[in-house]
Structure 1
Amino acid sequence: MTQVGEGQEAEESAPSVMTFGAPTVGEILAERYELVEHINDDSAGRQVWRGVDVILRRPVAVVLRHPGGDSATEMLQAAVAASRVIHPNLVGVYDAIDEAERAYVVREWVDGRSLRELTAEGPLDPARATTIGHAVVSALAAVHATGMVHGNVHPGTVMISDDGRVVLADARADGAESHENDLRAVGGVLYFALTGHWPHGEAPLHGATAGHGRAAIPDAVRDANGGLAAPRQIRAGVPAYLDDLTMDLLDRQIEPPTSDVLAAELGRLDVPADEQYLEQAGPLRFSADTEEERSPLSPAGGRKVIFGIAGLLVVALVGLLIGITAFGGGSDDPGGQAAEPTNPATNGEAPTPAPAAIRTLNLSPDQVRVIDPDSRARDEFDGIEKVVDGDQDEAWQTDSYYNAKFSNLKKGMGILIDLKQPQTVKSVEALLSNRGATAHLYAGTADQPSTSAGDKALVQAYQGNQIGPTLENHGAKMVFDGFEADKQHRYLLFWVTDLPEIDPGRYKLIVQEITVQVQ
């Protein structure tokens, strides 16, 4: 089990970092810290030992540097500063001692593995990567609140204990770092956890790894111009919102949020598995309609609870009515059969047929697909089945854009709904996470291949048959009910031309649910 020191481990071929006066197993430092096992050497000339505090009888990690004095000033200053910040996601620092011929820092021992070791077995699932990122930035928020900088956020200094606790170790204090660089490093940690590649090193040549020896970490995947590949381009299953957040943190053109704001955002997304209403859906911000304000204290799953109770009440009421009919019919017929009721208003004539009942279609995932005619990558299709799963806490979403017009990259995007057969449609409702979208509803008679060319042909054919007015800069609930009673439709296209703003300067379409009512 490896405990990292400050930075990466030394190369396998590196000479021993200590010769004369090197510590030995069983030696007791400062009459208190017994050295039990040499764990590793790091590239900055330090040895890391597992030890025991013989007074408090607790395990400790001892990081030694030879010699001490001026060469150990930065290490000792960082340790003293870190000891003043107490946080569950920071490794505790217990002592810092300079003996001239050597200096050492005594800190908490963590039974577990570094993120570097953990990811060596393969990239982590998005939920676990989010949890680790949340813990790291929470620790940084505590450090930054004191005005300090950590300066050493790296897959080797992020530790995951055997009981699941995530801690950040070994801050530096050389003055060359900043709060912004700490936050960029959080983007690197997320990227590394999701892909197994580190984005902050220089691109290696001919597929070599960045760095050397045991400390080598695979460099990020890059295009011919050195541009960084997004996690979603490297592996499947990475939610768009987590991909966006990671790439924004790594983009030097985008100013990162403060550590406390980032911690709050990752904390909102870091949902336990048994409460994961947001699973893959990302930063949903439910907007209450004007007729009914939703309490900000309502839990994400509140609607499910309300609907569940209402359903039970309906079942109980129906059962009660059936019981009254069966056992309290009050019939005088000796055969036990109740007389058929008559309607005196009809005078014995056949009654006028009632109009067909309005019902909500139970749409299946194969009845919806994304229409994206202006994109060759066609990479925003994941999760479209969530718009018909009956769960408003899950959603399909586009990538983020930097203005409402899809950053002028495309004319629009939409969702094609196949009703399977011509039907008399009463209304189509689209529930979005944010207000501000502009959308149209079109109808058509035929589908097209799911390609850019096919989507272009479909949009061109459908735009001549718009249903009702355009809903411009509309609320989160968009209802299209301008259908003619004597017409039937099989295909409907929900087409969005302006995205809602989800954050200052960021625009994205998040569709929670689409429902179709027919007669």
Structure 2
Amino acid sequence: MPPESIAGRYRVEREVGRGGMGSVWLCHDELLGRTVAAKQVGLMPGETTPDLARAMREARSSAPLNHRNVVSVYDAIEEGDHIWLVMEYVPGRTLAEIIASGPLEPGRAAGIGAQVADGLAAAHARGTVHRDVKPGNILVTDDDVAKISDFGISRTTGDAALTQSGLVSGTPAYFSPQVARGLEPTPADDVWALGATLYAAVEGRPPFPEKSNNLATLSTIISDEPRPARDAGVLDGPLQRMLDRDPDARWSMTEVARALHRIHRDHDDRGTRESVPVAAATTRLPVDPTPTPQEAYAAPVAAPVASGSDDSRGGRRGLFAALAALLLVAVLGGGYLLLSGGDDSTDGTTAGASTSPGKDPSRKASKKPSPSPSEESSSSAPTEEATPTPSPTPEQPPAASSPADFVEGYYAVLPADTESGWAMLSPSYQSQTSYGSYSGFWSTIDAVSVETAPAGADAVDATITYTKDGKPQTETRRITVERSGDSYLITGD
């Protein structure tokens, strides 16, 4: 039972939360006349008394951030046998509680995730890794303001290790493969954990099946690929980047925030886009049941023919399909461990069945696209000659201040102005198909929209939504460019 008052200042009213790291009580600050939350710091595995140093580390990790998407810490108190952290009270529910009521629409999940990414990016900028990002540590108000909480096991550069040798703290369902192997957490592992959290938000379950014990769960994360997402919609591409097994290939938290903000901006809470000329709804096209690598990407410019390729970092992938096939869909598809509890379990069923195959662990495919049409052409598809048809010679590409701006400008002229789009491709890329195939492909597309994130000096990660016959399909690719005067040309993907 808590005392009636803490430090003679905070009047305890009622318990509002409980987790593996301690209980949280609603209190009234008698000095400043405000409502606060006081967390009674619990015991870590192997502890017999609360650890003041650990409590102070949480306070010092959170207090300097002063960010609207991080729960503020006001005070740290040692009183008798108890240690208390006094913090901002956030009325609402945890994301875990919201998910328990049913999966979120992708647009809403993106909005919540974008805010959490903002808070975590601020922490990363200060050298702090949260280490336990999960639905239960995300607080969401009734108007969907999201805040990340519980920096209790976070680490800031220069901190001494406080856990005992051989003990790992955190929630295994949201561990990255690197953390599951016992490596020191980095910002890239927070990115994975947020990706796993957003996966759970839209799918209603974590990316990996939860096992009967934590060791089995960790073994699965180390050896297996995440289950293909079935209901991620416009989040499918970002989730692929966040849940890339190669930590160097994952987006930074700042890039995650940028992509999620754009998705949320363009999609309402029902996951649809309205009143935008190139808008696309988020219901998904049926997935071709033919097994293809989960992260194969369609070419950004040409009538696709054969599947593209990928390197170990989830980088440049090309997928060319036949004009008649129109838009083949890329399948998106140690020691003794004492880990904090199962209060974030969201494993359950979701509407709809998936025919998507799992991710190809090797992520290997043919690199060279074929210029010839697929043999699976429909009867309505025009027959294409083996040699490229003459292409137009429109004006030079418009000036662009950055590769991302150029790629956005490229998709902005499509599908209406294929001549301008064709002119924005490098000669070597044009040689991989014909203008007839290119313009024929785009004639089948009703609308296209794109979200971009920089991927170096000559590359852009693009999340692209095509709409055909009112049905959208979203995919993510890395597009490479080269300088051309005061603009750029697309050289590949």
- TM-score of the superposition, structure 2-length normalised? 0.53
SS at match of 1:31: coil
Structure 2 residues without counterparts, runs of 5 or longer: 156-183, 280-284, 296-305, 328-368, 398-409, 411-416, 421-438, 444-449, 470-493
**Post-superposition CA distance 1:294-346 (Å, at most 9, x none):** xxxxxx96999xxxxxxxxxxxxxxxxxxxxxxxxxxxxxxxxxxxxxxxxxx
Contact 2:105 2:269 in 1 (8 A): no
- Aligned match of 1:383: none
Matched, 1:119 2:99: yes
- 2:71 counterpart of 1:91: yes
Q: Say if 2:308 and 2:318, in contact at 8 Å, map to a contact too.
A: no
Structure 1 residues 195, 108: closer, same or farther in 2, change over 3 A? same
Amino acid at match of 2:2: P
Q: Is residue 198 from structure 1 mapped to residue 191 from structure 2 by the alignment?
A: no
| Kept in 1: contact 2:26–2:38 (CA 8 A) | yes
| Cα distance in 2 for residues equivalent to 1:274 and 1:374 | 30
AA aligned to 1:61 is: A
1:110-146: CA deviations, max 9, x gaps?
A: 1111110001111100110110110010011111222
- 1:462 corresponds, among 375, 379, 383, to 383
Is contact 2:50-2:82 (8 Å) kept?
no
Give the Cα–Cα distance (whole angstroms) in 1 for the partners of residues 371 and 32 of structure 2. Answer: 70
Distance 2:152 2:104 in 1: 27
1:62 pairs with one of 10, 26, 38: 38
Matches within 5 A, 1:69-468: 71-99=51-79, 101-173=81-153, 175=155, 176-199=184-207, 203-205=209-211, 226-231=224-229, 234-235=230-231, 238-239=232-233, 241-253=234-246, 255-271=249-265, 375=290, 402=310, 407=317, 412=322, 455-456=376-377, 462-464=383-385, 468=389
* CA shift in 2, pair 1:400/1:117, >3 Å: farther
Equivalents in 2 of 1:117, 1:275: separation in Å? 18
Q: Post-superposition shift, 1:509?
A: 7.1
Residue 439 of structure 1 contacts residue 470 of structure 1 at CA under 8 Å; is this kept in 2? no
Distance 1:508 1:129 in 2: 16
- Aligned partner of residue 103 in structure 1, secondary structure: strand
**What is the CA–CA distance in structure 2 between the aligned matches of 1:508 and 1:303, rounded to whole Å?**
14
Structure 1 residue 373: Cα displacement? 9.1
In structure 1, give the amino acid aligned to 2:40.
Answer: L
Q: C-alpha deviations, 1:77-115, integer Å up to 9, x for none?
A: 111231111111111111111235110101111111111
Query: Closer, same or farther in 2 for the Cα pair 1:184/1:280, shift >3 Å?
Result: farther
What amino acid maps onto 1:56 in structure 2? Answer: L
- For 1:48 and 1:501, locate their aligned partners in 2 and report how far apart those are by CA, in whole Å: 40
Q: Which residue of 1 aligns with 2:161?
A: none
For 1:494, the equivalent position in structure 2 comes to 441
Structure 1 runs not aligned, ≥5 long? 1-21, 213-218, 282-299, 305-369, 381-397, 418-437, 443-451, 481-491, 515-519
Partner SS, residue 59 of structure 1: strand
Whole-Å separation in 1 of the counterparts to 2:55 and 2:316:
49
Question: Is 1:33 aligned to 2:43, yes or no?
Answer: no
Q: Specify whether residues 105 and 141 from structure 1 end up closer, same or farther in structure 2 by C-alpha distance, changes over 3 A only.
A: same
Q: Is the contact between residue 105 and residue 202 of structure 2 (CA under 8 Å) also seen in structure 1?
A: yes
Residue 188 of structure 2 contacts residue 250 of structure 2 at CA under 8 Å; is this kept in 1?
Answer: yes
What amino acid sits opposite 1:123 in the alignment? Answer: P
Sort the Cα spacing of 1:96 and 1:272 in 2 relative to 1 into closer, same or farther, 3 A: farther
Does structure 2 retain, via aligned residues, the 8 Å contact 1:134–1:266?
A: yes
Shift in Å, 1:494: 2.6
- Change in 2 beyond 3 A, CA 1:469/1:279: farther
Structure 1 counterpart of 2:228, one-letter code: A
The aligned amino acid for 2:263 is L
Amino acid at match of 2:37: A
One-letter identity of the residue aligned with 1:258? S
Deviation at 1:410? 5.6
> Which amino acid letter does the alignment assign opposite residue 114 of structure 1?
T
Q: Report the Cα offset of residue 53 of structure 1.
A: 1.0
Larger Rg: 1
- In the alignment, the residues of structure 2 paired with residue 60 and residue 92 of structure 1 have an alpha-carbon distance, to the nearest angstrom, of 10
Measured at CA, do residues 165 and 401 of structure 1 come closer, stay the same or move farther in structure 2, by a change above 3 Å?
Answer: farther
Secondary structure at 2:56's aligned position in 1? helix
Q: Secondary structure at the match of 2:135?
A: coil
**CA–CA distance in 2 between the matches of 1:62 and 1:257?**
35
Provide the secondary structure at the position in 1 that maps to 2:130: coil
> Alpha carbon RMSD of aligned pairs, Å?
5.1
Instruction: Check 1:400–1:228 CA distance in 2 against 1; reply closer, same or farther (3 A cut).
Output: farther
SS of the residue aligned with 1:271? helix
1:478 alignment partner, one of 400, 407, 418: 418
Q: Which amino acid aligns with 2:135?
A: P
TM-score, normalization by structure 1? 0.51
| Paired letter, 2:242 | L
Shift of 1:194: 1.0
Q: What is the aligned partner in structure 2 of residue 432 from structure 1? A: none
Contact 1:48/1:62, CA 8 A, preserved across alignment: yes
**Counterparts in 2 of 1:63 and 1:251: CA distance versus 1, 3 Å:** same
What percentage of aligned pairs have identical amino acids? 24
Q: Contact between 2:323 and 2:440, CA under 8 Å: does it hold in 1?
A: no
Distance 1:66 1:171, change over 3 A: closer
Report SS of the residue matched to 1:76.
helix
Distance apart, 1:161 and its partner CA: 0.7
Structure 1 CA distance for aligned equivalents of residues 2 and 324 of structure 2: 68
User: How many residues are treated as equivalent by the alignment?
Assistant: 328
Q: 1:100 to 1:122 in 2, by over 3 A?
A: same
Taking the aligned partners of 2:135 and 2:318, their CA distance within structure 1 comes to 38
In structure 2, how many angstroms separate the alpha carbons of the residues matched to 1:110 and 1:371? 41
Cα 1:471/1:125, change in 2 over 3 Å: farther
Aligned counterparts of 1:168 and 1:468: Cα–Cα separation in 2 = 56
Tell me: CA distance 1:464–1:117, structure 2 relative to 1, closer, same or farther (3 Å): same
